[in-house]
Chain A
Amino acid sequence: MPEAATLTVEDPRPPRKLYRSSDGRWLGGVARGLAGHLGLPVIWVRLVFVGLMMADGLGALLYAAFWFFVPLGVGGVDAERPPALATETAPDGRRRLVARKPDKGQIVALLAMVVVALIFVGNVDLSGGAKAYLWPTVLVGAGVALVWRQADNARRARWMEVGRRKRTITLLRSAAGVLLVATGVSAIFVLQGSAAHLGSVLQAALAVLVGIALLAGPYLVRMTQDLSEERLMRIRAQERAEVAAHVHDSVLHTLTLIQRNAENANEVRRLARAQERDLRNWLYKPEGTGKDEDDEPGTLAEAVKRNAAEVEDKHGVPIEVVVVGDCPLDDRIGAQMQAAREAMVNAAKYGGEGGAVQVFAEVEGRTVFVSVRDRGPGFDLDSIPNDRMGVRESIIGRMERNGGTARLRAVPDGGTEVELEMERAET
Chain B
Amino acid sequence: MSDANEPTGAVEPDAGTTGAGTAGGPAAATGAGSAGADAPSGAATANDPAGAPDPAAAAPGRRVRVVLVDDHRMFRTGVQAEIGQTERTGVEVVGEAADVDQAVTVITATRPEVVLLDVHLPGGGGVEVLRRCSPLMADAEQPVRFLALSVSDAAEDVIGVIRGGARGYVTKTITGTDLVDSIFRVQDGDAVFSPRLAGFVLDAFASTDAPPVDEDMDRLTQREREVLRLIARGYAYKEIAKQLFISVKTVESHVSAVLRKLQLSNRHELTRWATARRLV
Contact = CB atoms under 8 A, between A and B. Distances in A.
A82 interface: no
Interface in B234-280: 234, 236, 238-239, 242, 275-280
A396 B211 CA distance: 40
A185 interface: no
Which residue of A91, A353, A358, A414 has the most chain B CB atoms within 10 A of its CB atom? A358
A371 interface: yes
Interface in B191-221: 195-196, 198-199, 202-203, 206
A365 B278 CA distance: 11
B46 A356 contact: yes
17 contacts: A269-B34, A273-B33, A276-B33, A322-B195, A325-B280, A354-B39, A355-B44, A356-B34, A356-B38, A360-B229, A360-B234, A363-B280, A364-B280, A373-B46, A375-B45, A375-B46, A417-B233
Given A272-B33, A358-B234, A371-B233, A328 B279 contact: yes
Given A354-B43, A358-B195, A362-B229, A320 B234 contact: yes
B46 A324 contact: no
B238 A355 contact: no
Which residue of A323, A328, A413 has the most chain B CB atoms within 10 A of its CB atom? A413
B126 interface: no
A410 to B, nearest CB: 12
B202 A373 contact: no
B153 A413 contact: no
A360 B278 contact: no
B196 A322 contact: yes
B256 to A, nearest CB: 21
- In order of increasing CB-CB distance, the 5 nearest A-B pairs are A358-B234, A322-B199, A355-B45, A360-B233, A358-B46
Nearest to A368: B280
Contacts of A365: 280
Interface in A329-382: 353-358, 360, 362-365, 371, 373, 375
Contacts of B206: 324-325
Contacts of A355: 38-39, 43-46
Interface of A: 91-93, 265, 269, 272-273, 276, 280, 283-284, 286, 299, 301, 317-318, 320, 322-328, 353-358, 360, 362-365, 371, 373, 375, 411-414, 417
B127 interface: no
Contacts of A358: 46, 195, 233-234
Given A280-B153, A360-B195, A413 B33 contact: no
B124 to A, nearest CB: 20
Contact of B239 (A320, A326, A413): A413
B154 interface: yes
Given A301-B277, A320-B234, A356 B45 contact: yes
Contacts of A354: 39, 43, 45
Contact of B232 (A273, A301, A322, A414): A322
A372 B39 CA distance: 18
B45 A324 contact: no
B37 A265 contact: yes
Contacts of B39: 354-356
B7 interface: no
A193 B219 CA distance: 85
Nearest to A324: B202
A215 to B, nearest CB: 49
Contacts of B43: 354-355, 375, 414
Which residue of B37, B232, B234, B239 has the most chain A CB atoms within 10 A of its CB atom? B234
A353 B206 CA distance: 35
B40 interface: yes
Contact of A318 (B34, B277, B279): B34
Given A269-B34, A284-B154, A413-B238, A356 B196 contact: no
Contacts of A280: 153
B47 interface: yes
Contacts of A371: 233
A274 to B, nearest CB: 12
B199 to A, nearest CB: 4
Given A265-B37, A354-B43, A325 B203 contact: yes
Contacts of A412: 239, 242
A327 B279 contact: yes
B199 A320 contact: no
Nearest to A281: B153
Nearest to A283: B153
Nearest to B203: A324
B240 to A, nearest CB: 11
Nearest to A411: B239
Which residue of A286, A323, A360 has the most chain B CB atoms within 10 A of its CB atom? A360
Contacts of B154: 284
Nearest to A419: B233
